[in-house]
Amino acid sequence: MNKSFIKRLTVAAASLACVPMLAGDANDNLKPNCCKGATLCHNYPVIDSSRFHFDIGILAESAYITGTDYASNGNAAGNPIGEVHKPDFNLDVGITAGIGYNFLHDDWMADLRFNWLHSTSKTHTAGSPAGGAAVTILPTGISFNNLDGAGNDLTSAGSGSAQVKSKYYMVDLAIERGAYISGRASIVPGFGLQASWINITSEATFLSLAPVALANPLRVNNGSYFWGVGPKVQMDTEWALGNGFALFADFSSALLFGNTKVTHDVLYGTVTSQQASLNHASSSPTIRYTTGLQWDDCFYDGQQYIQFRLGFDASKYWNQNSRISRVATPGGTDAFYSTLNENNSFSLMGLIADFRWSF
């Protein structure tokens, strides 16, 4: 008896052993996606016509970026008195899309996904409150020395406003294998590669500068442009509720390696009084967590499969929004030097709605 015959006999025996479990599994109605029967059955839909699936959905999320403060309150002498000003972000809508393939061998699946979201902050205005005590506005991240190039040092501003914009793109490719670990619960561990692009720009404008010799507006522009790629691990989980409904919770983490370009421009009127830029290698750890409710079902005699998901989605990237700051050289001279802050973070938080179709 050769090895090939023994292998075929083993496979046939295993298939026959599953028949009574498939027929008698009391949890068949709990399993969320057409895979009926024994524990450790794969948790992908069994579609007869194709092993491809397509995903499309929307993201409704707000950005949370540290290091976006642009001014602080000061007293008449130009000394900080506590309050720091930074803009808050709106709720913006983005896109999530993907394509996947279920392999014949051992129930592995490849999944390629793309996320896109552009965020814009509310325009934040700083100044003396109506009916309140007068305050001055002190721009952050710039040198006050010789602001106009004619020897006039900035003392303060009467008002300031700022807006921050971010552009976020993410592509990841993961290899996954899912399995039921009980009649209700399934897990889908996976690994792969993730690439991300995060561009963050800010513009602040200050008016009514002091001393009065500084009659033009002051604008401060900052930019941080990151790209990176690196390994990713993930764990998706589901808990079946019955009638096609299930709770899900997906976790992932990646370590990205790439490059960050940082820009810093200070313009007094139409004259650039301070300018700096830097390109440097950088790394960014990132995590993502998504949880919510899903419903799925097969139809057309198992020829097609659909899934709807609605949930909470949050992600965070460290070492983002790098900023160059100008610091006046001690001693009252007009010279200044630059410092680089890489310890900020970029986060997204909100809702995700996703539709999957396999046919």
229-249 burial, b if ≥16 CB within 10 A, otherwise e? bbebebebbbebeeebebbbe
Instruction: List the Cα angle 327/332/337 in 5-degree steps.
Output: 25
| pLDDT (0 to 100) of residue 211 | 85
Number of domains making up the chain = 1
Whether residue 46 is predicted with pLDDT greater than 70 in this model: the reply is no
* 229 or 178, which is more confident: 229
Give the chain's mean pLDDT.
80
Q: Is 45 helix (H, G, I), strand (E, B) or coil?
A: coil
| pLDDT (0 to 100) of residue 165 | 94
From residue 176, give the alpha-carbon distance in Å to each of 125, 249, 274. 48, 15, 50
Summarised one tens digit per residue, pLDDT across range 232-265 is: 999 999 888 888 889 999 999 999 999 999 999 8
Confidence of residue 147 (pLDDT cuts 50, 70, 90): confident
What is the spatial distance between Cα 246 and Cα 309, in angstroms, rounded to a whole number? 9
Which amino acid does the sequence have at 119?
S
What is the spatial distance between Cα 355 and Cα 39, in angstroms, rounded to a whole number? 27
* 88 or 195, which is more confident: 195
From residue 327, give the alpha-carbon distance in Å to each of 142, 162, 266, 337. 6, 21, 13, 5
Least confident range from 136-140, 242-246, 285-289, 336-340: namely 336-340
Range of the domain at 151: 3-358
Summarised one tens digit per residue, pLDDT across range 96-142 is: 999 998 887 677 889 999 999 999 988 777 665 544 556 788 888 88
What's this model's pTM, rounded to 2 decimal places? 0.83
Q: What mean pLDDT is predicted for residues 289-294?
A: 96
Residue 131 has φ and ψ, to the nearest 5°, of: 75, 0
Whether residue 85 is predicted with pLDDT greater than 70 in this model: the reply is yes
Confidence of residue 23 (pLDDT cuts 50, 70, 90): very low
- Of the candidates 180, 179, 176, the one whose C-alpha atom is nearest the C-alpha of residue 191 is 176
Q: Is 74 helix (H, G, I), strand (E, B) or coil?
A: strand
| Greatest Cα-to-Cα distance within the chain, rounded to the nearest angstrom | 101
* 315 or 325, which is more confident: 315
Q: In sequence order, what are the beta bridge partners of 138?
A: 72
Whether residue 203 is predicted with pLDDT greater than 50 in this model: the reply is yes
What is the spatial distance between Cα 74 and Cα 134, in angstroms, rounded to a whole number? 9
Q: What mean pLDDT is predicted for residues 204-233?
A: 91
Q: Which 8-state DSSP code applies to residue 359?
A: -
Pull the structure tokens for residue 10.
């083993």
| pLDDT (0 to 100) of residue 338 | 66
What is the spatial distance between Cα 175 and Cα 111, in angstroms, rounded to a whole number? 7
Least confident range from 1-10, 126-135, 165-174, 235-244: namely 1-10
| pLDDT (0 to 100) of residue 159 | 85
Q: Which 8-state DSSP code applies to residue 155?
A: -
| pLDDT (0 to 100) of residue 201 | 95
* 160 or 293, which is more confident: 293
What DSSP assignment string belongs to 242-304? ETTEEEEEEEEEEEEEEEEEEEEEEEETTEEEEEEEEEEEEEEEEEEEEEEEEEEEEETTTTE
What is the spatial distance between Cα 179 and Cα 171, in angstroms, rounded to a whole number? 25
Q: Are 172 and 113 in contact (CB under 8 A)?
A: yes
Could you give the count of Cα atoms lying within 13 Å of 155 in the half-sphere of its Cβ? 15
What is the spatial distance between Cα 154 and Cα 203, in angstroms, rounded to a whole number? 19
